[in-house]
Amino acid sequence: MLEIRNLTKHYGKQIALNGFALSVKRGETVVIMGPSGCGKSTAIRCINRLTEPDSGDITLDQRPVLTLSSKELRELRRNVGFVFQQFNLITRLSVLDNVMFHLVLAGTPKKIAEQRAWAALDKVGMGYHGHKLPVNLSGGEQQRVGIARALVSNPQLMLWDEPTASLDPILVGEVLEVMEELVRTTQTTMLIVTHEVSFARKVADRIVLMDAGRIVEEGPPQLVFENPRSEIGKKYKRLIAS
């Protein structure tokens, strides 16, 4: 479904991605892990071109992503859900509006959009908070709204950019539960960037370990965490053992 080849990205003199390549099958849940600054977030942001790569090639369902026109790119983005580390909710809009407004702007009738939004909110356990403003919610709740917003358009690919990294450890659990549930109950292809090793072991079909802008090891969780070949894998193994 998703093919990434030889992706490179520089931030000034710093290399974020250095020949990154990844292939993801439809319905697969791939968890990308690695130390901070290794290029995980950059990699998944390049997929829907929130960050423009310097070079490389990305195809999604056989469509070359990097050469899409603005209109085509917008179409693609509507089919790719994205969950941000910082939630990125529109603070002036209510929870319900946050979830439905892009549907309405894309042309979905308001009523239908509203029904779908309520359904998405119910799915993440936030139906009760639909008319609240994001500032009145906890971090975990805001992230669940962010997840609902990504889900509401039934995307074929979900990109998760460290969804629990900004949360208090107490609140991390409620978000991870929602995510686990989604992985279990939906057939959506998921590409998750996280540091949550236990969560990764539970939900991932495949673990991808990155270091210095490239993949250093990948494989099923059992293989990567129990018999790691890379230094990063070994560190994770030690972490799990401790």
Partner 1 sequence: MLHFFYDGFYRDFIVLMLVTIFVGVAFSSGLAWAVDSHFGETINQMIGDHGEYDVILHVREEAKEAALRELERISEQQFPGAKLNETLTIAGQSNLFFGFPDQFKTQETFAGLPSIFNGVPGLNGYTVITEPSILIRGVHPSVRVELQERFAAVAGVKFAFRDGLNMLVLLDSIDDARSVSAEIKQSLEEYQILELRFPMGFEVDTQQIAHDVIDLLSDKLGSKKIENVSSAEYGEDLDAFLKTLVEMRSFLLSYASKVRIEAIPDVHLVVGEQIVLRGMGDVDPYVADEYADGQVIVEVTSVQGAEAEGMIIKGSIFDATDILRQDGFRMRSGGEIGHHIGQVELENERYRLAYTINESLRLLEELEELAVEASLAVANADAIMNTFQEALMQLEVLQIQMRQLSEGISQGGGQFGSEQLLVSLLVNGLMKNLAQGATGGVSDDSLDSLENLDVESMRLSLSNITEQITRVQEIDVKAIIAQIEYVRDSLPQLDDEEIGKSIRLINTYLGGQVIPGERVQLLVQNRIIDEKELEPQIREALNNPYANVYLTSVGMVNPDVRSELFRVLQEIRATIAGMLAMVFVMAVLILDHATIFSTLKWVRTNKKGPRGRLRKLCNPIIGFGGFTGMVALVSIYLFSRAEIPYMNPAIIGIIGCMMGCTIVVFAEKFSPIHSNEIMAGQALGLSDVQIMREIVIPVSRPGLLNMLNRWKQRF
Summarize as ranges the residues that interact with partner 1 (CB under 8 A).
9-12, 48, 50-52, 70-71, 74-78, 80, 82, 84, 86-93, 97, 101-102, 104-106, 149, 153
Q: How far is the CB of 124 from partner 1 (least distance, A)?
A: 16
Nearer to partner 1, 156 or 209 (CB): 156
- Between the CA of residue 241 and those of 9, 24, 218, 227, 237, what are the distances in Å? 34, 29, 20, 12, 6
Residue 141 corresponds to which tokens in the numbers above?
């709740």
Nearer to partner 1, 25 or 110 (CB): 110
Q: What share of the chain is helix, strand, coil (3-state, %, to 5)?
A: 45, 25, 30
Q: How far is the CB of 233 from partner 1 (least distance, A)?
A: 30
Nearer to partner 1, 90 or 170 (CB): 90
Nearer to partner 1, 24 or 158 (CB): 158
Closest C-alpha among 192, 109, 183, 121 to residue 152? 121
Q: How many CA atoms does the CB half-sphere of 91 hold within 13 Å?
A: 3
First to last CA, the chain: 37
The span from the CA of 217 to the CA of 225, in Å, is: 10
The span from the CA of 169 to the CA of 110, in Å, is: 37
Q: How far is the CB of 91 from partner 1 (least distance, A)?
A: 7
The span from the CA of 85 to the CA of 140, in Å, is: 11
Nearer to partner 1, 73 or 216 (CB): 73
Nearer to partner 1, 133 or 223 (CB): 133
Nearer to partner 1, 84 or 236 (CB): 84
How many separate helices (H) and strands (E) can be counted in the chain?
A: 9, 10
Q: How far is the CB of 84 from partner 1 (least distance, A)?
A: 7
Q: How far is the CB of 48 from partner 1 (least distance, A)?
A: 6
The span from the CA of 180 to the CA of 29, in Å, is: 11
- Sign of the Cα torsion 188, 154, 55, 9 reads negative
Q: How far is the CB of 50 from partner 1 (least distance, A)?
A: 6
Q: How far is the CB of 169 from partner 1 (least distance, A)?
A: 22
